[in-house]
Amino acid sequence: MDGVIEKDTAYRLDKTPSLGIPEFNQGDLNTLLTFADRLGIQVAAHSIGDGSVKSMLDAISTARKLNKEIDQKRGGTIPHRVEHVEACHQEDLPRLGKLNVIASMQPLHERPPMTLWHTLIPKSEWNTSFAWKEALQDGATLVYGSDWPIVSCDPISGINHAVTRKPWYQGARNQAVTLDEAIAAYTSGAAFSEYCQQIKGTIAPGMLADMVILSGDIKDLENESFDLHIETTICDGKVVYTRQNK
């Protein structure tokens, strides 16, 4: 749907969009998403600016209304995915849950002030930017990833940053998540987003044995400084990596 804040190619509601942004006008997006939704196809959209997020939510809302009877017959709605959600209007955050939307975000994309991102986005909008905690309200699915190679693909660092994040200024909302919420975003949430929750995303009998063994207590990630390493990686029940102690 759009580009990025730093290059002024994000679709924002507070300024005139760059040439070619957004990628789809609202009418075409509504038609495309409703058609895909009717066929049971999940739509994923790169949406960084608040205008892009709003546009996607409007299109999903239209699909929910037009395909209501189809959803009833198939026993549920298609969980469409909005990727990045860096900026979002306050009134749109609850819609992520109410519309059964997957909010796919990247913990290591968030940085404290001041960066180029913060100079381009008004401070009045910071409270609902990278709004991980509020994205979870009303039952939305939060998914974490790396957007690699943009940032590190190390989930340990991502989980640590997600739970230790600090508000950007005094009095700002705290959008950090709990350790359980961060782990779920990297595991069960990610599995749900690709329709694989029956075979992976949790450790349980009958699931794929994809897991890691850590060098210590995972609760150490609740501290800003930690000393935690992956000792063993198991993929499909087979050990594929063992850390060599030095």
Q: Any idea which residue has 């239209």 for tokens?
A: 62
**In the predicted model, what is the mean pLDDT of residues 91-103?**
96
> In this predicted model, what pLDDT tens digit does every residue of 7-35 receive, in sequence order?
999 999 999 988 999 999 999 999 999 99
pLDDT at 137: 85
> In this predicted model, what pLDDT tens digit does every residue of 36-85 receive, in sequence order?
999 999 999 999 999 999 999 999 999 999 999 999 999 999 999 999 99
For the chain, give the mean pLDDT. Answer: 95
**In the predicted model, what is the mean pLDDT of residues 93-102?**
96
Per DSSP, 223 falls in state: S
CATH annotation of 26-201? 3.20.20.140
Q: How many residues does the chain have?
A: 246
Q: Which two tokens stand for residue 107?
A: 């913990």
> In this predicted model, what pLDDT tens digit does every residue of 144-160 receive, in sequence order?
999 999 999 999 999 99
Residue 118, classified by CB atoms within 10 Å of its CB into exposed (0-12), middle (13-18) or buried (19+), is middle
Would you say residue 245 has pLDDT above 80? no
Residue 58, classified by CB atoms within 10 Å of its CB into exposed (0-12), middle (13-18) or buried (19+), is middle
pTM for the whole structure? 0.93
pLDDT at 246: 57
Output phi, psi for 103, to 5 deg.
-95, 105
- How far lies 170's CA from each of 57, 108, 174, 201, 223, in Å? 31, 21, 10, 36, 21
Residue 111, classified by CB atoms within 10 Å of its CB into exposed (0-12), middle (13-18) or buried (19+), is middle
Amino acid making up residue 240:
V
Dihedral sign, Cα of residue 177, residue 179, residue 185, residue 186: positive
**In the predicted model, what is the mean pLDDT of residues 157-168?**
97
**In the predicted model, what is the mean pLDDT of residues 221-246?**
93
User: Domain-by-domain residue ranges, the chain?
Assistant: 26-201, 209-246
